[in-house]
Amino acid sequence: MTLTTERLILRPWEESDAESLYEYAKDDRVGPIAGWPVHTSVENSREIIRTVLSEPETYAVCLKEDNRAIGCVGLSTGEKSNIGLPDTEGEIGYWIGVPFWGRGLIPEAVREVIRHAFEDLHLEALWCGYFDGNIKSKRVQEKCGFKYHHTDKDIYWKLMNDIRTEHISRLGREDWK
């Protein structure tokens, strides 16, 4: 499925996106604060496309002008989420390459996934988390209507093999729009 916004195309990842993915995912300002390790090569990025980003409801964030992958937004429902949700609820995750920070692109992408989740998938609530220190992610959630729900302290984060504090926010269907 492909979703569109004023400036963006949200589409499934393709293996041909590996070079673009690597360009942005090798930057240590992107992955670690979002909870995943920096990519080490184009082949590493290609493997991540095959094994992680090929999941349903995971979208490459692309500018309409060139359809080049510059970030990612995804929706995980039920047990596929990181926080153990019922099948009627989903968790949104996202990131974007550093050159595109501060342009409002990720809030635009997240708003479209929110619309899709409530209107097309008929979910009842959406959740989003950010780790301590990730103020940019917190701001995206606030801009998109998510409200703070709770904090999980001292959680083991397998992808980074460390202990973190995660702040969780929620957006119910009744609070949307």
Find how far residue 99's CA is from the centre of its chain: 17
Listed in sequence order, the DSSP H helices in 36-104 are 42-51
Query: How far apart are alpha carbons 19 and 60 in whole angstroms?
Result: 13
Q: Give me 13's structure tokens.
A: 């990842």
Confidence of residue 83 (pLDDT cuts 50, 70, 90): confident
pLDDT, one tens digit per residue, over 114-141 is 999 999 999 999 999 999 999 999 999 9
This prediction's pTM: 0.94
Give the pLDDT mean for 36-60: 96
